[in-house]
Each structure stands twice: as structure tokens, then as C-alpha cells.
Structure 1
Amino acid sequence: MSTAARFPHAVTGRHVLLGLIAFFGVMFLANGLLVYYAVSTFSGGDRPDPYRSGLNYNETLAEAERQAALGWDARADYDGKAQRLTLQFTDSAKAPVSGLSITGTLARPAEKWDDRSIAFREWSEGVYVSDVALKPGNWVLSAESAERKGGPTVHRLKKRLIVPEGS
């Protein structure tokens, strides 16, 4: 009669099962956390209702053509020391464009808790300013201008601003 010797630290079926459960449990937990943070932090869209925007695509194209026909050029600059955002508008003849009512938003490209609405005032002929303190990093300025308060939008502007450290 032979007796098989049992090893005191042998791997049994129960050990394999517990190892597989632990491995896949950690994988499901890690994937679940990654999916949660991916979905909850950034929607991926830059418009609140992209479906409605798609339905109005022809109107959007017509508006872009009207804006291109104006021939305006807009430059944006941020002065960190003065904490002032400046927009400068010129027409196709390089003359300043005055009398606009400009509002807009400043947003981080991948975060939404730092977003803010801003209004510009005319500083001098064709130069519009808004006093705003910006943290260093990437910002996206989206602005709309109208010829008078409450009037139809005549120009849309979207510019990326990079605020350097220490400014």
C-alpha cells in the first residue's frame, strides 16, 4: 500500500479559484474607475447640443460665409501683469472696427470647473478689453460680437490662449 505524500504548501483548486476571482475583481474595479472618470470629467463635445447644431448646419455655413465676407481680422492677447484680455478688430482695409458689443466665455480645453463668462468694453477705437485673472495654462476664448446691444451676431471668434507661468 503506497501513500502519497502531501505537500504542506500545495496549490489546490480552491487557491486557483480565489486567485482568479481576485485578479478579475481588481481588473473590473480598475476598469470601472477609469470608465467613471472618463465619462464624468469630459463629455468630448464643445457644444451643449451637437444634435441641434447638426440640424442647423446650413444656417451655420451661411453665417460663416457672411462672416468671411466682412473680412474682419481679430487678434487676442492676454497681459498677465495687468490681468487684462484684449481683442483687436480690424476690417479688410485694416481700419479698426468700433461700436461692437462683445461677450464671450473663457474655458479650459479639458476641464469645465474653471469656465467663466466675460464681457468686453471698448477701450479705444477697435480695441476691446476685459479685466480677468487667468491661471497659467491653455484657455479657449469663444466670443460673439454684435453691432449693438442685443442685436444680431455679426462675428464669432474662437481663439486659443496660452498663459505662461509667472505672468
Structure 2
Amino acid sequence: MMAAGPFPRGVTGRHVLLGLAIFFGIMFVANGFLVYYAVSTFSGGDRPNPYRSGLNYNETIAEAQRQAAKGWAGRAEYDESAGRLTLRLTDTSAAPVSGLALTGTLGRPAVNHEDRVVTFREWAEGVYVSDVTLDPGNWVLSVESSEQEGGAPVYRLKKRLIVADGS
């Protein structure tokens, strides 16, 4: 003798239809959440318009070669107690590089909601500072320098900063 199961009259077309509707409904909701989070978070690009950058790839390579020929080196440090970001630029003979107009952006490596524009002023010969308050964690500093305000960039620098948790 057979025991009565959950479907005493057997599985009907309504049961199959309801099961398929529930299954695909759960799949659509789960995929909807995944698509939302994929689109609303980091796009993966580190430039504002990567397609245009790719079209000018040969010019980008020539610019990188001109920059490498200068032999400039940059070192960035953040002083949490003073709330100051310091950038030191030196040439191949370790002499300070001064007289530049620096503009830059500072942001997190994986998200863009904390990105901010930083302005530097020359504090000493070859030493540029910006007053900025940073939360603990990883930051990426991107700087362009020109010989005059609004001029063509002569040097680009990208550095990663790690701000320690002060507590």
C-alpha cells in the first residue's frame, strides 16, 4: 500500500507551472541584484575615457618616452597629524624640480565616490604640498604637472598611498 505524499492526486500541470514560475522568479531576482551591483560599482577603468586614450595610443607612448627621458622621480607622503600631502620631485641628479603647476586627483582604488581634486602649492624648492584630510586605507594619487598654470602636461605621476588607522 502506498502512503499519501504531498500531492495526493499526483503532479499536475499547475504544479509544474508553479514550480517553474517560482524557480525562474528567484533566478530573475538574483540576477537583477547582481546586475545592479555590477553596474553601480567600479567600472574597472582608470581613465575617464579609455576608448579615446586607445585611439591616441602612439601619442601616449611618445609622451611616456619623453617623460622617461626627463628622469624625474616623485615621492608622495601623507602626514595625518598635519593633514598634509607632500610631493617631492627630483631629477636624475637628485636635484629638486621646482616651478611647476601641479593638479591632481586623489581617490580610492576600487570606488569613485570618495574621489577629490587636490591642488598643490610649492612649499619649498621641489616640495609641493596640499592640505587634505584622508581616512585610513588605500588611496591613489594621480598628478599632472605643467610649467605654467593651464599649460600642457610635462610630467604625470601615479602613486599609491596607504594611510594607517590612527586608533
Which residue in the other structure is 1:63 paired with? 63
Report the counterpart of residue 29 of structure 2 in structure 1: 29
- Aligned letter for 1:7? A
Give 1:20 deviation, angstroms. Answer: 2.7
Aligned partner of 1:126 in structure 2 is 126
CA displacement at 1:48 relative to structure 2? 1.7
Identify the residue that residue 91 of structure 1 maps to in structure 2.
91
Does residue 7 in structure 1 map to residue 4 in structure 2?
yes
- Letter of the structure 1 residue corresponding to residue 6 of structure 2: H
Q: CA, structure 1 residues 73+5, in 2 after alignment: closer, same or farther (shift >3 Å)?
A: closer
2:75 maps to 75
Q: Percent identity?
A: 68
Is the partner of 2:48 in helix, strand or coil?
coil
Q: Distance in 2 between matches of 1:33 and 1:103?
A: 38
**Counterparts of 1:5 and 1:153 in 2: how far apart (Å)?**
84
Q: AA paired with 1:149?
A: E
CA deviations on 1:50-87 (whole Å, 9 max, x unpaired) are 11111111111111111111111100111111111110
Paired residue total: 164
The alpha carbon displacement at 1:147 in A equals: 1.6
TM-score (norm 2): 0.90
* Residue 5 of structure 1, CA deviation: 8.2
Question: 1:150 matched to which residue of 2?
Answer: 150
Secondary structure of the corresponding residue to residue 94 of structure 2: coil
Tell me how far apart the structure 2 counterparts of residues 110 and 148 of structure 1 sit (CA, whole Å). Answer: 32
The one-letter code of the counterpart of 1:12 is V
- Superposition pairs for residues 41-60 of structure 1, below 5 Å? 41-60=41-60
Give the AA of the match of 1:150. G
Question: Greater CA deviation, 61-70 or 21-30?
Answer: 21-30
Q: Could you say which residue in structure 1 is the equivalent of 2:112?
A: 112
Amino acid at match of 2:100: L
Equivalent-residue separation in structure 2 for 1:22 and 1:164 (angstroms): 48
Tell me, which stretches of 5 or more residues in structure 2 are unaligned? Answer: none
Q: Partner letter of residue 81 of structure 2?
A: K
In the alignment, the residues of structure 1 paired with residue 81 and residue 19 of structure 2 have an alpha-carbon distance, to the nearest angstrom, of 59
Question: TM-score scaled by structure 1?
Answer: 0.90
Distance 2:19 2:81 in 1: 59
Alpha-carbon distance in structure 1 between the residues aligned to 2:79 and 2:15: 64
Per-residue deviation at 1:159?
A: 0.7
